[in-house]
Amino acid sequence: MKTRRTRSRSKVDRGEMRRDYRFDYTKARPNRFAGRFQAGAVAVVLDPDVASVFESSNRVNKLLRSVIAAMPDRGRKRAKAG
């Protein structure tokens, strides 16, 4: 009877990061979504249940502006993104 050799799982198979990655930058493409954002815009991901309440980003912005206007301390500085 032949015995089967079990293949040991490499670190990559276990979800660990490799020491380095080699990318083929000749196949890279420009970001097709970059033109959709205005300068200085910040992208925020809403949970599906929250996103389902709003019809558009304009509605979300309108509500957020009204919440900001209702806040007692209007003198706060805006935190930088990132």
Is there a domain that residue 67 lies in?
yes
pTM higher than 0.85: no
d(CA 46, CA 63): 14
Q: Which domain holds residue 67?
A: 45-73
What is the average pLDDT across 31-41? 82
CA end-to-end span of the chain: 60
Q: Given a cut of 60, is residue 9 above it in pLDDT?
A: no
Radius of gyration of the chain (CA): 24
Is there a domain that residue 27 lies in?
no
Give how far the C-alpha of residue 51 lies from the chain's centroid of Cα atoms, to the nearest Å.
Answer: 15
Q: Given a cut of 60, is residue 8 above it in pLDDT?
A: no
What is the average pLDDT across 13-22? 81
What is the average pLDDT across 61-75? 86
Confirm if 12 and 18 have CB atoms less than 8 A apart: yes
Q: Provide the domain count of the chain.
A: 1
Each residue of 42-64: pLDDT tens digit?
A: 888 999 999 999 988 899 999 99
